[in-house]
Amino acid sequence: MTMKNPQLLLSMETRRKIMPYLLIAPVIIYYFIFWLFPVINSVIGSFKDIEDQWTLSNYIYIFKDPVFYQSVINTGILVVFSVTVEFLLAFGLALLINIKFKGSSVFLFLAMIPMALPAVAVGAIWTSGFATRGWLNSFLMTFGFIDDAGKFLFLAGGKYASMLLIIIVDAWQVIPFVMIILLAGLQGIGNDMKEAGYIFGGSRFQVLRKIIIPMLKPTITTAMILRIISAIQIWLIIVMIFGFNRIPVLLEQVVLNVDELGSEFFLRIGMALSVIVALIVSLVAILYLKVSGSFEKKDGDSE
């Protein structure tokens, strides 16, 4: 019986160990060039002035700007209300589709159409809809709900009325996204678990509350984190419908300073704002994970 070459075995073992790192190397290089490097460059640039000297003046300027605080408040309101409403509606639709009633596949297809539209298209659709002679007023007039004198002036409302319109538009586009994530989680729960709950005398609500929702918790956490991040990043639809600074939000201020104002000073301000927004997104995500108990160790977890 021939003995295998120890050097060959060592070489094979070494290759086996380094293979995973070789496979992920292109991804690491990609992220370093197109994500990590720009992030580091923005962080460094946010602490420099137009003469390339280290300074905190960019952040001081931001924290003295009343529009910044208004944008934080507006973003917070949009996140709280849009995420809550959209999650409840998406969860209800996911439960409905999971029943697999007749025509549920067609309903799911139609519900997913807004999700496939880019933000520019959504903004264009609803800008034309909210116009005085837009398709919303035309639809209401065609079916006799209003006359020509009773047209709705959707874009003439105050701050909170305008924010309500944004929440409605955002929900129309984003609910299918959250619904798909929750539906995938629901379809991963076996019928035997639900049937066991019914056998032991549980009602539909009790089975939902004590079996389905706890088993769906990881999926809910994923959906909520993604939704919170996207809600904080909303800006393009607002700008297309209302223009800049009608309803200021955080990311809109970044874009406004970097692209619209067009000077080196405001470019630095935009960099500082982008760092602040990134920190806020990270803190909100961590806070949600903490509140939802995702950091708590489960039974059986290693110490």
Q: What's the average model confidence in pLDDT over 41-48?
A: 91
What does the domain layout of the chain look like in residue ranges? 53-117+160-291
90: its two tokens: 């998406």
Task: Give the percent of the chain with pLDDT over 70.
Answer: 93
9: pLDDT strictly greater than 80: no
Contact 226, 83 (CB under 8 A): no
Among 206, 227, 193, 197, smallest CA distance to 91 is for 227
Are 279 and 215 in contact by the 8 Å Cβ rule? The answer is: no
Count of beta carbons in the 10 Å neighbourhood of residue 114: 18
User: Residue 7's pLDDT is what?
Assistant: 56
Tell me the pLDDT tens digit for each residue of 151-175: 888 988 888 899 999 999 999 999 9
What is the number of other CB atoms lying within 10 angstroms of the CB of residue 301? 7
Q: What is the pLDDT of residues 89-121, one digit of tens each?
A: 999 999 999 888 888 888 888 888 998 899 899
Report the pLDDT averaged over residues 10-21.
76
Whether residue 36 contacts residue 213, with contact meaning beta carbons closer than 8 Å, is answered with no
Average pLDDT over residues 51-80: 93
Residue 97 neighbours by CB distance under 10 Å: 20
Q: Residue 2 pLDDT more than 80?
A: no
Give the Cα separation of 224 and 86 in Å (integer). Answer: 10
CA-based nearest residue to 261, from 79, 67, 69: 67
- Residues 6 or more apart in contact with residue 240 via CB below 8 angstroms: 120, 123, 124, 127
Across the chain, mean pLDDT equals 86
Predicted confidence (pLDDT) at residue 47 exceeds the cutoff of 70: yes
How confident is the model at residue 261, as a pLDDT? 64
Angle (CA) 294 299 301, round 5°: 75
Residues 182 and 91 sit within 8 Å (Cβ to Cβ): yes
pLDDT tens digit string along 275-287? 999 899 889 888 8
What are the angstrom distances between the C-alpha of 81 and each of 24, 143, 157, 163, 231?
39, 31, 19, 10, 10
**For residue 1, what pLDDT is reported?**
46
pTM of the model: 0.83
- Residue of 62, 87, 30, 53 lying closest to 279 (CA atoms): 62
CATH code reported for the domain at 53-117+160-291: 1.10.3720.10
